[in-house]
Amino acid sequence: MIDWEFLHFIRPAWLAVLPLVFAAWLIARRWEGRRRGANTILAPHLEEALTVNRRSRRKIRPIDGFGISMLAATLAAAGPSWSKQPNPWFSETAALVIAMEVSDSMRSNDLQPTRLDRARFKVLDLIKLRTGSRTALIAYAGSAHIVIPPTTDIEVIKPFLESLDPAIMPEGGSDATSVLPLAAELLAGDAVTGTLLYVNDGFDPADIAELSEYSGREGAAAVVVLVVGTDEGGVALLPDGTAVTDSRGGRLDTAIDAALLSRVEDEASIPVIRATTSDSDIRQLLRRIESNLRLANDPNAQWLDRAWWFVWPAAFLSFLWFRRGWTMQW
């Protein structure tokens, strides 16, 4: 997939050949048209009958295939590139801060066994794929708290992750913005290359302004969101099997506001990924984290030369020149 934001040419001097290629194609096409029109030896109806591919020659001519082939070859020589060669050392220095929501709504059973359990599974799958990379864990509800500072030891994170429960949180609610100063503290000098990952079941409308301010701040870590749960929601159950109630005594509403998530993406420019039953969400997260590394401009990383994307079309078109009626005649 082409990342248009980073598209450039490693050897841009070759682009100066493009006007020459276009001029040669235009001159040759006009010359061929005049040469064919100047034929007075054969009668027009005989020439038409004896011409190979007479129906297509008026639209697409051999010179057109040659021109496209030369265009592709010139672009290949210019060295198009839109991504860098991954640097393993650089990847391992980039920290990931996971902010896990541990509120009553995460007890919802719309994803079995609960949203919180499903979130744990997803986080474990993610950190297993990032072996050697530093990961920190924050738990938040009405307030945010550091659970594990950045570490490369998955086995250290696992028991703390499994012990997270709304009952141990000092304040109820869901204050996502309380995570931001703690994440900045954990990332410190690695903020440019690091990523803050929210694992939750949504945000409050009041969070958007502060999230927007943070994501637009120069030098701040990139933010990604993994939303666990369905739009319809489910029933949030306490360990004794009773339903969690809200402040009015009714059953806690755990529905997810999809429109609000769209606002987070549009207004705060924060990508939102919905949790799935497959590992497609984890793959998306990994791509986002890798994209953040590219944005960090690692000075030691080399741009990948994607010339082969254009070499193959040029080679394929050149094969047409061996086909009867497509041989170039200069």
Return the CATH number at 145: 3.40.50.410
Greater pLDDT, 89 or 49 = 49
For 237-293, the pLDDT digits (tens) are 999 999 999 888 889 999 999 999 999 999 999 999 999 999 999 999 988 887 665
CA distances from 303 to 74, 78, 90, 111, 297 (A): 19, 13, 15, 42, 11
Distance from C-alpha of 63 to C-alpha of 329, rounded to nearest angstrom: 9
Most confident of 4-13, 195-204, 243-252, 303-312: 195-204
Distance, first Cα to last Cα, the chain: 39
- Whether residues 247 and 149 fall in one domain: yes
Strands (E), the chain: 8-9, 80-81, 96-101, 135-140, 144-151, 195-200, 222-227, 272-274
Which of 22-31, 48-57, 69-78, 203-212 is predicted with the least confidence, judged by mean pLDDT? 48-57
0.75 exceeded by the pTM? no
Contact 246, 255 (CB under 8 A): no
In terms of pLDDT, which residue wins out, 168 or 62? 168
Mean pLDDT of 222-240: 94
Higher pLDDT, 176 or 315: 176
Does some domain include residue 329? no
Residue 166 pLDDT exceeds 70: yes
Whether 92 and 78 map to the same domain: the answer is: no
Asked if residues 320 and 65 have their Cβ atoms less than 8 Å apart, the reply is yes
Would 327 be classed as within a structural domain?
no
Parent domain of 280: 88-295
**Which residue has better confidence, 228 or 219?**
228
pLDDT value at position 118? 96
Contact call for residues 135 and 151 (beta carbons, < 8 A):
yes
Cα–Cα distance measured from residue 228 to residue 152, given in angstroms and rounded to the nearest whole number: 25
Of 186, 167, 183, nearest in space to 116 by CA: 167
Q: Is residue 330 part of a domain?
A: no
pLDDT of 56:
47
Do residues 94 and 193 both lie within one domain?
yes
* Residue 92 pLDDT exceeds 60: no
Cβ contact 317:68 at 8 Å? yes
Closest CA to 100 of 144, 130, 157, 134: 144
Asked if residue 157 lies in contact with residue 73, where contact means CB atoms within 8 angstroms, the answer is no
In this predicted model, what pLDDT tens digit does every residue of 116-158 receive, in sequence order?
999 999 999 999 988 778 899 999 999 999 999 999 888 899 9
Same domain, 214 and 308: no
More confident residue, 61 or 173: 173
pLDDT at res. 144: 96
Looking at the structure, tell me whether residues 14 and 123 fall in a common domain: no
Residues 104, 244 contacting (CB under 8 angstroms): yes
User: Which pLDDT does position 107 carry in this prediction?
Assistant: 96
Q: What's the farthest any 2 CA atoms get from each other in the chain?
A: 100
74 to 61, 67, 70: CA distances (angstroms):
20, 10, 6
pLDDT at 79 over 80: yes
**Residue 275 pLDDT:** 95
Residue 308: predicted pLDDT = 79
Kindly state the average pLDDT of the residues 64-85.
81
Instruction: Indicate if the pLDDT at residue 34 is higher than 90.
Output: no
- The per-residue pLDDT for 57 is 47
How far apart (Å, rounded) are the C-alpha atoms in residues 86 and 93?
13
Is 250 within a domain? yes
**Residue 161 resides in a domain:** yes
175 and 318 share one domain: no
Range with the largest mean pLDDT of 66-70, 158-162, 285-289, 316-320: 158-162
Task: Tell me whether residue 328 is in a domain.
Answer: no
Is the pLDDT assigned to residue 181 strictly greater than 50? yes
Q: Are residues 106 and 252 in the same domain?
A: yes
Per-state percent for the chain, helix, strand, coil, to nearest 5: 50, 15, 35
Q: What percent of the chain has pLDDT over 70?
A: 77
- pLDDT averaged over every residue in the chain: 82
Read off the pLDDT band of 63 (50, 70, 90): confident
pLDDT tens readout for residues 285-319? 988 887 665 555 555 567 778 887 888 888 777 77
Q: Do 54 and 166 reside in the same domain of the chain?
A: no
> Residue 188 has what pLDDT?
79
Contact at 8 Å (CB) between 126 and 285? yes
Q: Is residue 57 part of a domain?
A: yes
Please tell me whether residues 53 and 120 are part of one structural domain: no
250 touches 238 (CB < 8 A): no
The tally of domains found in the chain comes to 2
Claim to verify: residue 173 and residue 60 sit in the same structural domain: no
Question: Measured in whole angstroms, how far is the alpha carbon of residue 211 from the centre of its chain?
Answer: 20
